[in-house]
Chains A and B, each alone.
Chain A
Amino acid sequence: MKKLQKVAITLGILILVSFPYIVPNPYLVRVAIMCGIYMVLASSLNIVIGFTGMFSLGHGAFYGIGAYTSALLALNLHWPFWVTFPLGGVMAALFGVLIGVATLRLRQIFLAFTTLGFGEITRILILNWDSLTRGPMGLPGIPIPTFFGMRFSQVGYYYFILLFTGLVVLFIYRLYHSRIGRAFIAIREDEVAASHMGIHLFGYKTLAFTLSCAIAGLVGAFYAHFARFISADQFGGNESFAILTMVALGGTGSIIGPLLGAAVLIIFPEMFRFLAQFRMVIYGAILIFVIVVKPGGIVGVRGVFEKPVQAIRAKRSHQKGGH
């Protein structure tokens, strides 16, 4: 079994590495790059939602903060991508800490509302801070990264995001099987018991939130230099919900789940382009369907979606039994 797994992983990596040469189609490579970006976003949100059991609805904002930070530094100060990319992550992490300290003492639905609010505030701020962000006109002409003096080709972008996604998944895998990951999951499972094990609830919640934001900020920085044009509406509530749907569909609390969810929800809209205007409707329907029918998603263990559903079911069966 272990050997089979190793063979499968090696084969998977080989296919992914040779992908742009097997399929030298710029459109498909672009779709693959978008898959990578959303796999990272969904995986990072999963640290908060799936592992630690906190409901965050503002993930798109941290993605946007990373994108705008990197783009503005590159456009205004002409700093190279290799400097602005990590700074995108740092800035998102800083905002993550700030928002975390302010909100993470709240529980469940209250946390969901405050993060949703923060997401909107960020979008509106970007939209209206004309002197810095050019407001609704967005930021065009973000420079292409260079690698030893050579500008990124599309294949270059592909390899960069492939490597980055791989590193993020590896990091999350290690985190999951470490003291810190176990503390996150313990908090999701039972906060009271977790604190009796010596786990500083607030500290670990903030850590989970910050890590998640940092990763989203990094991939946001990448996106800015890949798309070369960014605007506020790319990082609003719709974006947050799309990422949330990916996590929910794939499966909260598992490592593979968000990757699966991201792949499905990037590839299917490409195949069904004629349904484009119904995209958010379909996402909403998927979200409701998953929560009601299979709160663990395709491969998930358990996350924030299962608890409220269980609570409602328990209440209902209790009421039925009572009469």
Chain B
Amino acid sequence: MFFQMRKVRKTFGGLVAVNDVDLDVQQGTIHAVIGPNGAGKTTLFNCITGLRRADAGEILFEGENITDLPTHRIAAKGIGRTFQNIRLFPYLSVLDNVKVGTHLLNPTTLWDTALKSSRFRKLEKEVEDLCMELLHQTGLSEKKDQYARNLPYGEQRKLEIARALASKPKLLLLDEPAAGMNPAETAELDDFIRSLKAKGITILLIEHDMKLVMSIADTISVIDYGVKIAEGSASEIQSNERVIEAYLGKRRN
């Protein structure tokens, strides 16, 4: 099993944000997590990356228990993410933001840095090339020298994805990547996420744009009040009674 959550639980005081959720993500798929606002989706992501500690349950990645690892170690296992409320490094250039993303791939030491050794130059060159490639793919290469904070909203989202990809993650968590994007940009994003899947990156996606979700997700899990209420393909979810209930309310008889 590639990625697995077993009975993961997270409470904030009396509120059960994530209630014994089981989640299996198959390698090489796009797996969407949907649910009404406040259902606990982002908390679920925060538990995966170690930003919040799960109170109970286990999270397994490639057979290894990562539940209690600190955030930077989880990142090192190959889990990258973007944030719902964009967390770029505002006063770093666009290019440098992506370069920070390569942190884990770059074995430069302090000694290399102080002496500007040939190894240092070689590694910096590799980093630069990889980051420029990612900026080309996301259409941001011309803005590489701007401060990240000066980018328009949609491009900040793209930059966050580019930064997450710079660490060459095996599993990429995208938290509402289409939020604030216009339909043309969302269509672009659709293609882009598919191209990531084609490269073998597994994607776990939180998204409210149902058109996007139904178009690209191989599996959809629905969460409501912290409980997983349904799971299946797009068509299965669309006809699921409990899902309709969660989104639209109970049918009146």
Contact = CB atoms under 8 A, between A and B. Distances in A.
Interface of A: 171, 174-175, 177-183, 185-186, 189-190, 192-201, 207, 253, 301-302
A194 B100 contact: yes
Contacts of B89: 185-186, 189-190, 193-194
A174 B75 CA distance: 26
B86 to A, nearest CB: 9
Q: Which 3 pairs, one residue from A and one from B, show the smallest C-beta to C-beta distance?
A: A189-B89, A198-B104, A198-B75
18 contacts: A178-B120, A179-B103, A179-B106, A182-B99, A185-B89, A185-B96, A189-B88, A189-B89, A190-B88, A193-B88, A195-B75, A196-B51, A196-B75, A197-B104, A198-B76, A198-B104, A198-B167, A200-B72
Contact of A185 (B51, B92, B101, B108): B92
Contacts of B240: none
Interface string B97-113: 00111111010101001
A175 to B, nearest CB: 6
B12 to A, nearest CB: 17
Nearest to A176: B113
Contacts of B100: 182-183, 185-186, 194, 197, 199
Contacts of B114: 171, 174-175
Contact of B81 (A171, A177, A196): A196
Nearest to A194: B100
B90 interface: yes
Interface in B194-242: none
Interface string B170-210: 00000000000000000000000000000000000000000
A294 to B, nearest CB: 15
A178 B107 CA distance: 11
Nearest to A207: B110
Interface in B111-162: 113-114, 116, 120, 123-124, 127
Contacts of B49: 196
B83 interface: yes
B247 interface: no
Interface in B49-69: 49, 51
A207 B88 CA distance: 23
A120 B81 CA distance: 44
A180 B51 contact: no
Interface of B: 49, 51, 70-72, 75-76, 80-81, 83, 87-92, 96, 99-104, 106, 108, 110, 113-114, 116, 120, 123-124, 127, 163, 167
Nearest to A167: B114
B92 A198 contact: no
Given A182-B100, A192-B87, A196-B49, A175 B113 contact: yes
B72 A195 contact: yes
B52 to A, nearest CB: 11
**In this complex, which of B49, B75, B88, B163 has the most chain A Cβ atoms within 10 angstroms of its Cβ?**
B75
A180 B110 contact: yes
Contacts of B80: 196
Contact of B101 (A195, A197, A200): A197
Nearest to A185: B92
A302 B148 CA distance: 14
Contacts of A198: 72, 75-76, 103-104, 167
A196 B92 contact: no
A193 B83 contact: yes
Nearest to B91: A302
A301 to B, nearest CB: 6
B226 to A, nearest CB: 22
A301 B90 CA distance: 11
Contacts of A179: 99, 102-103, 106, 108, 113, 123, 127
B116 A174 contact: yes
Nearest to B89: A189
A303 to B, nearest CB: 10
A159 B120 CA distance: 29
B91 A301 contact: yes
Contacts of B99: 179, 182
Given A171-B114, A198-B75, A180 B108 contact: yes
B110 to A, nearest CB: 6
A215 to B, nearest CB: 12
Nearest to B173: A196
